[in-house]
Amino acid sequence: MTTGFYWDERCFWHGGGNYALTLPVGGLVQPTFGGLPENPETKRRLLNLMRVTGIDRHLSMRGGEPATEAELARVHPRSYLSEFRSLSAQGGGELGLRAPFGQDGYEIAALSAGLARTALFDVLTGAVDNAYALSRPPGHHCLPGFPNGFCLLANISVAIEAALAEGLTERVAVVDWDVHHGNGTEAIFYDRSEVLTISLHQERNYPLDTGDAEDRGAGAGLGANMNIPLPPGTGHSGYLAAFDRLVLPALEDFRPDCIIVACGYDASAFDPLAQMLASADTFRQLTARVKEVAEDLCDGRLLLVHEGGYSEVYVPFCGHAALEALSNSPVTAPDPMADTVATRQPGPRHDRMVEELLSDLEDLFRNP
C-alpha cells in the first residue's frame, strides 16, 4: 500500500503578522514570543518527528503545483482573488477576520490549496492508495469571499471542485474533526447534494455563531450537512462514540466515491484554543475508523488534509499517530503525555451528558 505525503517548504514561510494568540498586538495587548497560534512550528516539528522516527521512509513524499486561478475561481470570486493577490504583493495585510498574511501570502496559500488538489487527484487516479496533505495555511474556515480563522483559501473545497470538474469523482464526503466548526466548507456546499459535509467540533468555540446541529443543508443539499457540536472536555471515549454512532452511519448512507478529512489536532488535551482532552491515540483510532470505512465504501480512497492544531509539542505526536494508522506503518512515536491525558479524562457524570447528547443527535439526524 502506498500512502502519499504532500508538503512544500514554502508553506512553512507563510507569516501571520504581529499577534498575541488571536489578538492583534496594540493597546493593552502585549506581544508574545509565539505570536499567532497558526505558525509553522507545529507542522515543521511534525515533519521533523517523521524524519527522526523514520516513518517518512514508509511514505511516498511528494510535492504539488499551486492551484491555478481558474481552479480557485470555482470557489472564490475573482474580485477576492485579485484583492488578495494585490495586497500580498504590497507586503501583506488582512482581508477578513483573524486571517493575516505577509509578503507572498497569495502564492503560498495557492500552493497550500494545490497540495490538497494534487493529493486528491493522485488518490482518485490510483497514483497512491491514500494520502496526507500538509497544507498551510489551513482552509476549512474560509468563505468564498471572506477569509477567517487563519484560513485564506478553501483548500479542500478547491480540491473537490477541481476533481468534480475533471470528472474524477461524483460524490465526496468531508469529515472535519478539527475542533473548530468547518463553516467555510459547510457554506460552500450547503445547497449541494454531491458533497456530504460533517463537522465534529467544540460547541461555540469558533466561529461563535455557526455549527448548530439543526443546520442540515438547504435545497438539494438538505440532509447533506451534519454538525456535531460537542461540549468542552468530551475526551477520548466521547470522540470515538460520536464517530461510531453518528459519522460512520452517515458515511455508509451517503456512499461516497472518496472521503476527505479536514484533519485538525486542536481537540488535543494541550491545545491553547480548545478544551477537548483528546489524545494522540484518539487521532490514531479516528484515522483507523475512517480508513476502514473508506475501504468498505470507496476502495480506500481517503485523503487527510492538515488543518488546525496549535500545541507545538503535542501536534507532532498526534499527526504521527494518524500517519501510523493511515499507512499501516510499524514505526511508532510513543506518546510522552499518554498517562497524563488518560488521567485527565472526564468522569461518569460527563460521560452521561455526552451520551444524552449523542442520543438527541441520533434522533435529530434521522429526521432531516
Count Cβ atoms below 10 Å from residue 191 Cβ, excluding itself.
14
From the list 141, 236, 306, 320, the catalytic residue is 141
Q: Do the Cβ atoms of 46 and 29 come closer than 8 Å?
A: no
Q: What are the backbone angles phi and psi of residue 103, rounded to the nearest 5°?
A: -55, 135
Burial of 309 (0-12, 13-18, 19+ CB in 10 A): buried
Nearest to 246 by CA among 208, 284, 210, 289: 289
3-state secondary structure the chain: CCEEEECCHHHHHCCCCCEECCEECECCECCCCCCCCCCCHHHHHHHHHHHHHCHHHHCEEECCCCCCHHHHCCCCCHHHHHHHHHHHHCCEECCCECCCEECCHHHHHHHHHHHHHHHHHHHHHCCCCEEEECCCCCCCCCECCECECCECCCHHHHHHHHHHHCCCCCCEEEEECCCCCCHHHHHHHCCCCCEEEEEEEECCCCCCCCCCCCCCCCHHHCCCEEEEEECCCCHHHHHHHHHHHHHHHHHHHHCCCEEEEEECCCCECCCCCCCCCECHHHHHHHHHHHHHHHHHHHCCCEEEEECCCCCCCCHHHHHHHHHHHHHCCCCCCCCCCHHHHHHCCCCHHHHHHHHHHHHHHHHHHHCC
Q: Do the Cβ atoms of 298 and 338 come closer than 8 Å?
A: no
141 flagged as catalytic: yes
Catalytic residue annotation: 141
